[in-house]
Amino acid sequence: MAYHDTHVAQHSSQAVSVNKVLRNTYALLAMTLLFSAVTAGAAMAMGVERMNILVFFIGAYGLMFLVHKTANSAAGLLATFAFTGFMGFTLGPILSAYLALPNGAALIMNALAMTGLTFIGLSAVALVSKKDFSFLGNFLLAGAIVLILAMVAGLIFQIPTLMLMVSAGFVLFASAAILYQTSEIVHRAGETNYILATITLYVSIYNLFISLLSILGIMSND
C-alpha cells in the first residue's frame, strides 16, 4: 500500500512538473513570436536589405550558442529574446520582397495559416496521444546534415526543383522537431528547461513558415 501511494505521488509530481514546463514553454514561445513580429515589422519599415548569408549564420548560431550557455540563468531569457528578435529582423526583408509581388500578401497569410495549423495539429498529436516520439532523434540528426548540404547546393546552383525539394525537406524536418520536442517534455523528466524547449520549437516554427512560404512562391511562379 505504501509503495502504491509513493508511486501515485511520484506520478502526480511528474505530471505537475510536465504541466509547468509546458505552460512556461508556450508562454515564452508566444512572447518570442510576438517580439519577432515586432522586429520584422521594424525591419520592413526601415527598408532593411536582405542580410548576407554569412552574416546571418554567424548571428543566428552565435546567439543560439549564447542561449544554450545561459539557459540555466536569468540571462537566458535575455539571450532568447536577442536570438528571436534577430531572427525576426532578418525575416523583415524577405516579407518585404514577397509583399512586392502581386499576390504576395496572400502567399504570406496562407503560409502563416498553414504554419499555425501545422504546429497546433502536431502539438495536439504529441500531447493527446502521449506517444513517445524519441525515435525521431536519429532522423533529426541525419536530416540536419542532409538539409545543410542540400541548402548549400541550392544556393550555389539556384535550381528551382532543388530549392523546392529543400523547402519540402525543411517542412518535414520542422514537423518532426515539433513532435520530438513536445514528446521530450511529456516523457522525459529531465527535460525541464523551458528556455531550450522554447528555442527548439521557435526554430521549428520559423523554418516551417519560411519553407512553406518558399514552396507557395515557387508553385505560383513567384
Q: What is the pLDDT of residues 61-104, one digit of tens each?
A: 999 999 999 998 889 999 999 999 999 999 999 999 999 988 88
- pLDDT score recorded for residue 7: 44
Expressed in angstroms, the distance from the first to the final Cα of the chain is: 67
In the structure grid, which three cell numbers stand for residue 102, read together?
502581386
- pLDDT score recorded for residue 9: 41
Q: What is the pLDDT of residues 140-156, one digit of tens each?
A: 878 778 877 777 776 67
Query: Which stretches in the chain have pLDDT values below 70?
Result: 1-17, 154-155, 157-159, 188-192, 221-222
Q: What is the pTM of this model?
A: 0.85
- pLDDT score recorded for residue 4: 46
- pLDDT score recorded for residue 6: 45
- pLDDT score recorded for residue 14: 54
- pLDDT score recorded for residue 206: 95
- pLDDT score recorded for residue 36: 96
Cα 204 from Cα 175, distance rounded (Å): 7
